[in-house]
Amino acid sequence: MIRLNQRYKLSAKSLRRCASVQDGHLRLFSLTVSMRIAKATLMSVIAWGLPFSVAPSVLAEDVPTAEQIQFFESKVRPIFVEHCYECHSETADEVEAELLLDSKWGWMTGGESGPAIIPGNLDESLVIDAVRYEENKVTAMPPSSKLSDKEIGVLEEWVKMGAPDPRTAKKTMVPVAKEIDFQKRFNEHWSWRPITKPELPWVTDRKWPRSDLDRFVLHKIEAAGLKPAAEADRRIWLRRVYFDLIGLPPTADQFADFLSDDSENAREKVVDELLQSPHLGEKWARHWMDLVRYAETYGHEFDYPLRYAHEYRDYLIRAFNADVPFDQFIREHIAGDLLDEPRKNPEEDWNESIIGTGFWYLHEATHAPTDVLGNEADIMDNQIDVFGKSFLGLTIACARCHDHKFDAITTADYYALTAYLQSSCRQEYPLDPSGKRAAANREINRLRGDAVDAFKASEVSVTDENQKDSGDYYRVAMQVVADSKPDADKTALVSQSAKAEGLDANLLQRWADKHESIKNELIDPGYELENQNVFADFKGDVLPEGWKTSGLAFLPIGSGLQFSSDGAVLVPNTVDSAVNGKKQVGVLRSPTFEITTDRIHVLINASAGAAVRVVIDNFQMAEFNALLFRGTFLNNKGSDTQGQWQWKSLAGDLRKYKGHKAYLEFIDNGDASIAIDKVVFSDAGPPGKVRGKEAVFDAALLSQMEKQAAIDLKAGRVHPLMLALLRNQVVSVVDFSQEASESLGQARELAEALPPVRRVIAMAQGTSEDAHVYIRGSHQNVGEVVPARFLEVLGGETATRLELANRVATLENPLTARVIANRIWHHLLGVGIVPTVDDFGPQGLPPSHPELLDWLATDLVENGWSLKHLMKQIVLSSTYRQANVPNEAVSAKLIASVDPSNELLHRMRVRRLSGEAIRDAVLVASGRFEPKPFGPSVATHRTPFMTGRGARSSGPLDGNGRRSVYLSVYRNFLNPFMLTFDMPSPFGPQGRRSKSNVPAQALTLMNDPFVIGQAKVIAEKALAVPDQSTEQKIAMMVERVHGVVPSENQTKQLSQFLVNQTKAYGKEDSRAWADLAHALLNMKAFYFLQ
């Protein structure tokens, strides 16, 4: 376990994430230095012949003048004293970053990053970079606020004059950071302790518990001298359980069915029905979407689309509906692309597991980062924050810049996890519904193989039955070309010459048209590669080491004869995306490499629909906007080679990224093709042809070749002449084998009939890499290497990503089961047993019922990690059945003294519905609710105030009646209704939503056009029911909206409201009924749960 006395990087994002870190913990002179500077410093030391410290003689050099001393004492020292000494002097409680600024020896020796001031050199002086707040090399300092321009000017002037400093006394020792005892932290904090199933506690009232979990709750209630609340009214319980499990209210018929069922298991029947409802997944998926910062755009300036994000949302809904065991759910999220036996969709047989990995890539993103490596570091910070909080309830990301201030997590732990991300790639994975594409591919491959076998078995001559050979055709074709005028029609001359020579006129015409191409192919000397940096040369029938594919498109050709599904002869020793037709989709991905040259040359034969790109530091946004990344992406005309083999170059801004890591992607998204031969790195142009004496090419040579071709064909080999004639369509497969031609015809039909592809965002395994610790979170200050592994206090062994997933998804991990059990409790009871649901560390709140939490966690695991089982246990418990008012036998004074916040759960909490549940309940009440599941999201309805770059067309006001989970989430254009009711902004994990109670919420329900419109529909439906009195219509509306039957007094009040509104309108008017419906929607009985 390493110790890094580091401090938090003070960006707004960091402060939001580590809000619990107090200001005192953020004070820091965080100085980072590039490896270039560190190397220069080391070389200077070596040149002086000194050890790596400052000798006393150095301090004695360049004695400052009286004027310089006066300048330092009157202007410079006061700045250090006021702004720096608190953390960077011998009198500091703890010296930050091992840097002292109270002596010349201190700043010359420097801290963890080396010398802090380079006399005479502003750009290399880390103190100057820090106080300028530019963060080119180091974190901005002081952390509380920037120095004034005058103070910065003083320090700059001082450094330029050589940094004269009279404080020459050498300190006795370098300050040593305080060691952190991580094992002690691990041993002392409750959440690291192993999970064991506790004994059931003793309770006095043995009749009250309906479930073992009730005993833990009752035990604490009785210990406090309290009693549990009475059982809630059946209507209240039914409305409560409906909203809690499926997020929708019960209908009048569902109320009637339940209220008429007097059986002992009436509630259990309702719960079982709800657990099987397709709406359950929609409700619980939204909870998980809060954690994974779900959105469908990237945010920032242009809010570019996050394509196929809705597929991840639909995956969640299916997973919760299917009650996928939570340990499997975890594996699918962390390493679903690596499972040997992925979970398949039961209806359409596609790979469900891989979709889970899409959560990694739902982060925000900017299109033109000036520091792409820093951009990657920030994205990984967000990814690890989501991972740590969602699955483990840990603030792992707080260890990015320093060892965790409170938890047993080191900076090395944080960067060990980044190694998994650096070793992975983002992909848009093509699903294969019903396996139709894979099945078609298998059949196409079989037919192509049959065609090759039939072709090799053919005994047909290369030319026709008159036994004229290729030499004859070439000789006559060349004479025709010589006797023809340029651009003149050769048809008559070809016909005349063919007749005179006894040749087939059509075949001779093809020779005349293609002779040059055939010649070039047969005598091609190849490219001069001897002195080239060849990154890839695709030889053989397997991909080179480290190259990977996504999808079914890209196949290595090998050295033998192969036909594509459309009958074309494939070029040997290449990789081709159109082997099985142009409707195939896929990506060919290279191993990770370091950019060392100005250009990357690729020898390809591609259509305009194909693309080639170099992905630098995992940056994915260049396709949207090439700013700062020009030349790193080829598509459209840039990739189109017009059916020829050509060198294409990735260049332009590539030279800016020398030293960065990257990988290549060759992309075929369908209706395109791209074949790849070679990849070469170079500072110059692409390789040229091999130079040498031009080969003789004449009719005699062709005659010899044809004889050898016939021999090769009988031996099952294919001569280059045969390949050239077939590729140039001088001869065709049918000329040799009808059977082969028929097989290829069938293959072509299958390839053209492939169903449309369906893509999802997913992770793919890239080149495995170790990670570097970024000292104090700065990628410009690289520290030690750490391998990919889990947290050290939980074993810390080096592991693959799949092994990491297995170590998270086990009861041996003391966090995972507790965290998810606590989340379920939180969503059903209103507050988690651990209220800080995303933070089980020392800065989070302790559990109110620790034994109950362990009982829930072990019960969950014992029952196959079934979340539905856990939900059922809770909602059928006596704890959940309680009313929201205390037991009448308990005095208010006692409650106020022992359980004022209801931590002991002596009653049920009153909870406001989420924004999604409120909107969905409005639609149910109006009858406009559209239950259709899945599919692309409905565009956000834009108000006149929702303007700006990246704005999309406005969607319908009512969202086509679709449930709120199916509404688009555009980061720059979030739904104002949802935001008003505390839907989190999708920028980081949030397992516990805010619970605000603000005027904007009442104003929204009062004035939102959606609510007003739906109130009108509710009124119209009530008025449309025949033979109903006013009182009956009122009762029907109240039950539809509030889920209760109004009392006689309430009905009178509502009737009087109608009378008053009718008078206001001056006549009988349906608007009065709409006003009544609107009023009902504004009452707390509608948008609160009792």
Q: How distant, in Å, are the alpha carbons of 147, 245, 574, 974 from that of 681? A: 47, 58, 18, 45
CB 209 within 8 A of CB 203: yes
Strands 661-668 and 586-589 come out as antiparallel
CA atoms within 13 A of residue 610's CA, in its CB half-sphere: 31
Q: What percent of the chain has pLDDT over 70?
A: 93
Choose among 335, 173, 297: nearest CA to 624: 297
What dotted CATH number matches 533-682?
2.60.120.260
Predicted confidence at residue 458, as pLDDT, reads 81
Cis peptide before 142 (omega within 30 of 0): yes
pLDDT digits 0-9 by tens, 550-591: 999 999 998 888 999 999 989 999 999 999 999 999 999 999
Mean pLDDT value of segment 160-165? 91
CB 389 within 8 A of CB 989: yes
Mean pLDDT value of segment 440-461? 88
Tell me which residue has tokens 């209630």: 221
- In the predicted structure, residue 986 carries a pLDDT above the cut 50: yes
Measured distance CA(259)–CA(251) in Å, rounded: 12
Stretch (H or E) spanning 104: helix 104-109
Q: What is the DSSP letter of 654?
A: G
Tell me which residue has tokens 């410079």: 76
- In the predicted structure, residue 33 carries a pLDDT above the cut 80: no
DSSP characters over 944-1002: TT--STT------TTGGGB-GGGB--BTTB--HHHHHTTPPPTTS--SS------HHHH
CB 762 within 8 A of CB 357: yes
Measured distance CA(1070)–CA(1073) in Å, rounded: 5
Measured distance CA(775)–CA(9) in Å, rounded: 10
Region of poorest pLDDT, from 20-24, 313-317, 504-508: 20-24
List all residues 6 or more positions away from 207 whose beta carbon is below 8 Å from its beta carbon.
none
Average confidence score pLDDT of the chain = 89
Count of positions (residues) in the chain: 1090
Q: What are phi and psi of 733, to 5 degrees?
A: -60, -40
* Residue 321, SS3 per DSSP: helix
Cα angle, residue 549 at apex, residues 547 and 555 outer, rounded to 5°: 95
The identity of residue 432, as a single letter, is D
CB 211 within 8 A of CB 856: no
Mean pLDDT value of segment 276-292? 98
Tell me which residue has tokens 């790849």: 676
Give the pLDDT band of residue 62 (cuts 50, 70, 90): low
Predicted confidence at residue 175, as pLDDT, reads 52
Strands 599-606 and 674-682 come out as antiparallel
- In the predicted structure, residue 61 carries a pLDDT above the cut 70: no
Query: What are the domain boundaries of the chain?
Result: 31-178, 436-526+696-758, 533-682, 1007-1089
Give the pLDDT band of residue 461 (cuts 50, 70, 90): low
- In the predicted structure, residue 55 carries a pLDDT above the cut 60: no
**Region for 425 from its dihedrals, namely left if φ exceeds 0, alpha if ψ lies in -120 to 50, beta otherwise:** beta
Measured distance CA(604)–CA(668) in Å, rounded: 13
List all residues 6 or more positions away from 964 whose beta carbon is below 8 Å from its beta carbon.
286, 915, 916, 917, 919, 920, 978
- In the predicted structure, residue 30 carries a pLDDT above the cut 80: no
Stretch (H or E) spanning 682: strand 674-682
Q: How distant, in Å, are the alpha carbons of 38, 112, 383, 518, 553 from that of 464? A: 76, 82, 67, 19, 37
Predicted confidence at residue 668, as pLDDT, reads 96
pLDDT digits 0-9 by tens, 843-860: 999 999 999 999 999 999
pLDDT digits 0-9 by tens, 869-891: 999 999 999 999 999 999 999 99
Predicted confidence at residue 826, as pLDDT, reads 98
DSSP characters over 257-274: HHHT--STTHHHHHHHHH
Token digits for 473? 């055709």
Residue, of 1057 and 523, whose pLDDT is higher: 1057
List all residues 6 or more positions away from 69 whose beta carbon is below 8 Å from its beta carbon.
164, 166
- In the predicted structure, residue 57 carries a pLDDT above the cut 80: no
Torsion sign across C-alpha atoms 156, 157, 159, 163 = negative
| Residues pairing with 536 in the sheet | 679
Measured distance CA(543)–CA(558) in Å, rounded: 10
pLDDT digits 0-9 by tens, 250-273: 999 999 999 999 999 999 999 999
Predicted confidence at residue 554, as pLDDT, reads 96
Measured distance CA(171)–CA(464) in Å, rounded: 98
* Three-state DSSP string of 731-788: CCHHHCCHHHHHHHHHHHHHHHCCCCCEEEEEEEECCCCCEEEEHHHCCCCEEEEECC
Measured distance CA(867)–CA(326) in Å, rounded: 7
List all residues 6 or more positions away from 1055 whose beta carbon is below 8 Å from its beta carbon.
1030, 1031, 1034
CB 773 within 8 A of CB 415: yes
CA atoms within 13 A of residue 552's CA, in its CB half-sphere: 24
The identity of residue 638, as a single letter, is G
Measured distance CA(853)–CA(193) in Å, rounded: 13
DSSP characters over 190-202: GGGSPP-PPPPPP
Mean pLDDT value of segment 282-297? 98
CB 576 within 8 A of CB 555: yes
Give the pLDDT band of residue 665 (cuts 50, 70, 90): very high
Mean pLDDT value of segment 491-513? 89
Residue 651, Cβ neighbours under 10 Å: how many?
A: 18
Predicted confidence at residue 20, as pLDDT, reads 37
Token digits for 410? 């080191």
List all residues 6 or more positions away from 615 whose beta carbon is below 8 Å from its beta carbon.
425, 662, 663, 664, 665
pLDDT digits 0-9 by tens, 1032-1081: 999 999 999 999 999 999 999 999 999 999 999 988 889 999 999 999 99
Residue, of 76 and 422, whose pLDDT is higher: 422
Mean pLDDT value of segment 616-638? 93
* Residue 30, SS3 per DSSP: coil
Residue, of 591 and 40, whose pLDDT is higher: 591
pLDDT digits 0-9 by tens, 1002-1014: 999 999 999 999 9
Predicted confidence at residue 466, as pLDDT, reads 55
Q: CA-based diameter of the chain, in Å? A: 120
Token digits for 346? 């039961």
Region of poorest pLDDT, from 293-297, 596-600, 713-717, 768-772: 713-717
Predicted confidence at residue 881, as pLDDT, reads 97
Choose among 877, 579, 507, 544: nearest CA to 678: 544
Residue, of 171 and 422, whose pLDDT is higher: 422
Give the pLDDT band of residue 792 (cuts 50, 70, 90): very high
